[in-house]
Amino acid sequence: MTEEFDTEIYYDDDADSSHIDDETVAVLGYGSQGHAHAQNLADSGVDVIVGLREDSSSRAAAEDDGLRVATPVEAASEASIVSVLVPDTVQPSVYADIESELDAGDTLQFAHGFNVHYGQIEPADDVDVTMIAPKSPGHLVRRNYQSGEGTPGLLAVYQDATGNAKEQALAYGKAIGCTRAGVVETTFREETETDLFGEQAVLCGGVAELIKAGYETLVDAGYSPEMAYFECLNEMKLIVDLMYEGGLGAMWDSVSDTAEYGGLTRGEVVVDDHARENMQEVLEQVQNGEFAREWVTENQAGRPSYRQRRIAEKNHEIEDVGERLRDLFAWADETETEAESSEN
């Protein structure tokens, strides 16, 4: 724990492995997070059993990685900790299958709070319900563990039936390498609502619309699509890399004074009070469950609107321009990715 932050941050020394050493963990799903949690837990000496459907294409991968594999029901029946790492949209149906395998005092462990927070999964009162959510995709959770570094993560306790839920979650976080880097305590509500708001308003939705709006503004004014692509999309990475390394300050320091003055005076013209009011509305729909209901209904209906929107996005002119330009230019990134993958 440190005192520099309002939130509590836990490190290896705050976690006691004895809370997980003698447990069996069922890891349901072997995708991005599942493969990383399962292998890190196993390498930390924890007994792991991966739960996958009989016909799952991930079975071979988990077995090749030296892990025991069973069906989700068998795995949950054997385990005292069930880590639910199938996609969020399929978690409710997988949970319905394994629910009866949870004994009093067992733990349901999540990496995202959506289903519990919005009542799509309603765990019995006698189980612990916890979250360790690495703030990285799974391949980095695995790679950082192997290299001796860690991956920062979030910890939350939704239900503490045993009185021991937090200690055990910390031990789980230690076993997958998160407490090496630091684990921040939050709640299921805060993790879920900030995650949804962030990806909708800023990260995925906000950024994609900002890029398309900038691109369209330039192209509609007669500038070339290639120039618009470079200026509004390609350069985004350079700017974000600077922010990632040193916050907004590093970005402002690095761009020209002209860019800094123009950005400081014109940015707020674009993201004005109206945009902020819209953000407020998006946040309210996250908070009052309207977005969650819409998404659950959309999935139940077979994703008709989602499909349509995906197609429309794919057909946006900026995607064609980008594909052509990425073929013509050797992106610095490609060599980086090649170098990274050849390390493994």
Stretch that binds Mg ion, among 35-43, 103-111, 177-185, 211-219 (CB under 5 A): 103-111
88 counts as binding Mg ion under rule CB under 5 A: no
Nearer to Mg ion, 47 or 106 (CB): 106
Q: How would you classify the pairing of strands 9-10 and 183-185?
A: antiparallel
Residue showing tokens 């991956």: 151
Decide if residue 137 touches ligand NAD (CB under 6 A).
yes
Alpha carbons 7 and 181: distance in angstroms, whole number: 15
Task: Tell whether residue 56 is a contact of ligand NAD (CB under 6 A).
Answer: yes
CA–CA separation, 204 and 194 (whole Å): 13
What are the φ and ψ backbone dihedral angles of 137, each rounded to 5 degrees? -65, 160
Q: At what angle do helices 304-314 and 290-300 cross, to 10 degrees?
A: 90
Binding mask 93-122 for ligand NAD (x = CB under 6 A): -x----------------xx----------
CB nearer to ligand NAD: give 123 or 134.
134
Site string for ligand NAD, 201-240 (x = CB under 6 A): ----------------------------------------
Q: Are 191 and 154 in contact (CB under 8 A)?
A: yes
Contact 105, 126 (CB under 8 A): yes
CA distance 186 to 58: 32
Q: In the set 9, 38, 133, 184, which binds ligand NAD (CB under 6 A)?
A: 133
Question: Rule CB under 5 A: which residues touch Mg ion?
Answer: 103, 106, 195, 199
Question: Rule CB under 6 A: which residues touch ligand NAD?
Answer: 29-34, 52-53, 56, 58, 85-88, 90, 94, 111-112, 133-134, 137-138
